[in-house]
């Protein structure tokens, strides 16, 4: 179990070190206006969740993704 996951994780770590992939924690904010990049990421996340969860109402996904208490990696 562990060896399969650690090999996959190692591949991701190498891609991160080479700059192929990046990780960001994004979320909406009430205390300051989110910049354009964050808003684009939030809309993109909304689309990913809608595509992967087609039976879940889009309004519910929107409410979760744009909830200021919610953070996504």
Res 42 pLDDT > 80 = yes
Distance CA 37, CA 31 (A): 17
Q: What is the pTM of this model?
A: 0.74
Distance CA 32, CA 3 (A): 43
Residue linked to tokens 């039976």:
55
Residue ranges of domains in the chain? 22-73
State the first-to-last Cα distance of the chain, in angstroms, to the nearest integer: 24
Q: How confident is the model at residue 1 (pLDDT cuts 50, 70, 90)?
A: low
Quote the radius of gyration of the chain (alpha carbons, Å).
Answer: 15
Please calculate the CA angle 30-50-56 and round it to the nearest 5 degrees: 95
């Amino acid at each position: 179990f562990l060896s399969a996951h650690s090999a996959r994780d190692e591949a991701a770590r190498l891609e991160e070190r080479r700059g192929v992939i990046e990780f960001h924690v994004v979320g909406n904010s009430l205390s300051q206006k989110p910049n354009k990049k964050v808003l684009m990421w939030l809309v993109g996340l909304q689309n990913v969740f809608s595509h992967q969860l087609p039976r879940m109402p889009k309004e519910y996904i929107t409410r979760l993704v744009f909830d200021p208490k919610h953070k996504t990696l």
